[in-house]
Chain A
Amino acid sequence: MFSERRNLRAWLLMLPLLAVMIAVIGWPLADTVRLSLTDARLVGTGGQFVGFENFAKMFSSRNFQSAFRTTLSFTFYSVSTEMVVGVLVALLLNQRFYGRTLLRALMILPWALPTVVNATLWRLIYNPEYGALNAALTQFGLIDAYRSWLGLPGSAMAALIVADVWKNFPLVALIALAALQSVPNEIRAAAISDGANVWRRFRYVTLPYLMGPLMVALVLRTIEAFKVFDLIWIMTRGGPANSTRTLSILVYQEAFAFQRAGSGASLALIVTLMITVLAVAYLKIMRSFAGGGK
């Protein structure tokens, strides 16, 4: 009786959230599914049912395949760099040095900078004629002539990744630092007195504490990177030669620039499915770590 009332109360408290979720996520998502099976256009006619034709067309299109590869490589390189740099910086921040509090405070800055400002800032830095990067590198004698950073497929991708890493590695570092600080001093001391070397101490004492929070950061950053739109939209708009056109940009073009709401919706669903698969795979790995970890 008591617990039933509590249960009802709990559901009542959840109700507003669930209602909002249904209105702004559930309904649109269901509508995306419906649209994906039609040839609807963005403005005007409702569109005819065409079955899975949109999906078939998408999977076989050259644009989709190249955008998929682009998205994967952007996600892989930027997230893995962020994780490695983030952990290294966290290990550094866990040492004793002058100005440690200040440096920790600085870490919040790139994270707080709006993404659009970050993208704009880096585009100015990479400007081939008047950008700071070319100027700095030539004045230090590292390159002998100005280069085009956003104008070549390989370097444009690398430039985007650097901009993304700069903004996001501090977040990983802060998460990792908090985890490092949760390692009990006794255990660390015990490992030292057991004569374990630096690597073994990291591997067997520190890493188990790091693993859980890092996996969370990894999952979130991967999902974020896979969805990337604003950074690329502002820095390259998918160029040069579409070498930085990710799936999100492709969906935008299909649904909004070409106004094909139907096939745009099918493409969006494919992207959603991919992210789900990625997230589930990560969760599986996380569980297995949680089982064998601390």
Chain B
Amino acid sequence: MERQSRTFSVFVHVMALLVALIILAPLAWLFIMSISSNADLSAKPLHWWPEHFDLSRYVTLLSRQENSAGAAFLASLFNSLKVASMATLAALGVGIPAGWAASRNPRLGWSLGLVVGTYMLPPVALSVPLYLILAKFGLLNKVFGLALVYLSILAPFVTWLLKSGFDPIPRELEQAASMDGARLDQLLRIVILPLALPVIATALIFAFLLAWDEFFYALLFTSTQDAKTLPVAIADLAGGRVSDYGLIATAGVLAALPPVAIGILMQRALISGLTNGGVKG
């Protein structure tokens, strides 16, 4: 790196501070809103820091009492967990073999291209038939049905990510193993998987976050607590009795916690995944 003049260095530091502020300010405000009383939030001029911490919204949303706002919120949290896990596992199930095959046989590239091309499809292009199909099989408002629909987003994405992750794993290894007479499953288990594990872990996280984030299909295909996911629950909360801004903020904080925690903990893997051509939608 080149030598920096003093003014340039000051400039860089000021800009870095500014960027940090731009990123942090809205997030900090979300958290402050969640612990401020309504009086603080509707004061003019606005109180930027609550006079006393009000944690009642966390209590409300995390209460398990039957037929309460908290029960509804927690139900949607579990639905989100279930849908995202099911869809992610299924996507990896079809994506790992396909990604490996495509990585090893360039001639299959076109079929993978076709699969990745489906990324261009807007969800609205599939929504009406998906609705009718799910209705026909009784899968509307079912966690399983929504997970199935999410495969249409996750499977191509995961396959693509895995393929580009498998590419750098040297071919010679498998050739040597296959000369030694190893069967396909042995080859996969003993040689490929250990090397590919980091890539697979990255794909898993991305797929999970993608499913956690999805809103459009969830809005259309779920209606009750049996299957309603967190994004829909938050949208319902934000659109209804909007006078309690703190409650909306609290729901936001709680919904953001898992992905943000994953984001911070798995930073290195995520950034390398992101920049290796895999980009979260």
In their complex, do chains A and B touch, with some C-beta pair under 8 Å? Answer: yes
In angstroms, Cα B134 to Cα A24, docked, is: 10
CB neighbors of A among B94-137 (8 A): 94-95, 97-98, 100-102, 104-105, 107-108, 111, 115, 118-133
When the two chains form their complex, are residues A109 and B27 in contact, meaning their CB atoms are under 8 A apart? yes
Chain A contact residues: over half helix, strand or loop, or mixed? helix
When the two chains form their complex, are residues A233 and B235 in contact, meaning their CB atoms are under 8 A apart? yes
When the two chains form their complex, are residues A178 and B275 in contact, meaning their CB atoms are under 8 A apart? yes
Q: Which of A13, A92, A121 contacts B101 (CB 8 A)?
A: A13
Q: Closest Cβ of chain B: how far from A227's Cβ, in Å? A: 4
B23 within 8 A of A: yes
Choose, from A56-64, A266-274, A286-294, the stretch at the interface. A266-274
Closest chain B residue, CB of each to CB of A98: B13
Closest chain B residue, CB of each to CB of A115: B213
When the two chains form their complex, are residues B231 and A116 in contact, meaning their CB atoms are under 8 A apart? yes
Choose, from A28-36, A74-82, A147-155, the stretch at the interface. A28-36
Chain B contact residues: over half helix, strand or loop, or mixed? helix
B77 within 8 A of A: no
When the two chains form their complex, are residues B26 and A111 in contact, meaning their CB atoms are under 8 A apart? no
Closest chain A residue, CB of each to CB of B276: A178
When the two chains form their complex, are residues B279 and A265 in contact, meaning their CB atoms are under 8 A apart? no
A213 within 8 A of B: yes
In angstroms, Cα B208 to Cα A229, docked, is: 20
In angstroms, Cα B105 to Cα A99, docked, is: 44
When the two chains form their complex, are residues A103 and B115 in contact, meaning their CB atoms are under 8 A apart? no
A239 within 8 A of B: no
B238 within 8 A of A: yes
Take A24-B149, A31-B132 as given contacts and tell me if A112 and B98 are in contact as well, using a CB distance cutoff of 8 Å. no
A160 within 8 A of B: no
Q: How does the 8 Å CB contact mask read for A158-178 relative to B, with 1 for contact and 0 for none?
A: 000000001000110011011
Q: Which of B19, B119, B121, B280 contacts A103 (CB 8 A)?
A: B19
B148 within 8 A of A: yes
In angstroms, Cα B29 to Cα A127, docked, is: 13
Residues on A with beta carbons closer than 8 Å to the beta carbon of B68: none
Residues on A with beta carbons closer than 8 Å to the beta carbon of B120: 223, 272, 275-276, 279
Q: Closest Cβ of chain A: how far from B225's Cβ, in Å? A: 18
When the two chains form their complex, are residues B121 and A25 in contact, meaning their CB atoms are under 8 A apart? yes
When the two chains form their complex, are residues B238 and A7 in contact, meaning their CB atoms are under 8 A apart? no
When the two chains form their complex, are residues A32 and B125 in contact, meaning their CB atoms are under 8 A apart? yes
Choose, from B49-57, B58-66, B193-201, B258-266, the stretch at the interface. B258-266
When the two chains form their complex, are residues A275 and B122 in contact, meaning their CB atoms are under 8 A apart? yes
Q: Closest Cβ of chain B: how far from A11's Cβ, in Å? A: 8
Q: Closest Cβ of chain A: how far from B173's Cβ, in Å? A: 16
Residues on B with beta carbons closer than 8 Å to the beta carbon of A120: 234-235, 238, 248, 252
Q: Closest Cβ of chain A: how far from B38's Cβ, in Å? A: 10
| Most chain B CB inside 10 Å of its own CB: which residue of A10, A89, A106, A110 | A10
When the two chains form their complex, are residues B148 and A107 in contact, meaning their CB atoms are under 8 A apart? no
Q: Which of B33, B234, B249, B275 contacts A116 (CB 8 A)?
A: B234
When the two chains form their complex, are residues A21 and B115 in contact, meaning their CB atoms are under 8 A apart? yes
A-B contact pairs, 16 of them (CB 8 A): A24-B149, A31-B132, A35-B128, A95-B12, A114-B212, A114-B259, A116-B231, A120-B238, A135-B45, A174-B275, A178-B271, A213-B275, A223-B119, A268-B122, A268-B125, A268-B127
Chain B contacts to A: CB under 8 angstroms = 1-2, 4, 9, 12-13, 15-16, 19-20, 22-24, 26-27, 29-30, 33, 41-42, 44-46, 48, 90, 93-95, 97-98, 100-102, 104-105, 107-108, 111, 115, 118-133, 148-149, 151-152, 155-156, 159, 184, 209, 212-213, 215-216, 219-220, 230-231, 234-235, 238-239, 245, 248-249, 252, 255-256, 259-260, 262-264, 267, 270-272, 274-275, 277, 279-281
* Nearest 4 A/B pairs, CB to CB: A112-B263, A178-B275, A31-B129, A135-B46
Chain A contacts to B: CB under 8 angstroms = 6-7, 9-11, 13-14, 16-21, 24-25, 27-29, 31-32, 35, 42, 89, 92, 95-100, 102-117, 120-125, 127, 129-130, 132, 135, 138-139, 166, 170-171, 174-175, 177-179, 192, 213, 216-217, 220, 223-224, 226-227, 229-230, 233-234, 247-248, 251-252, 255-256, 261, 264-265, 267-269, 271-272, 275-276, 279
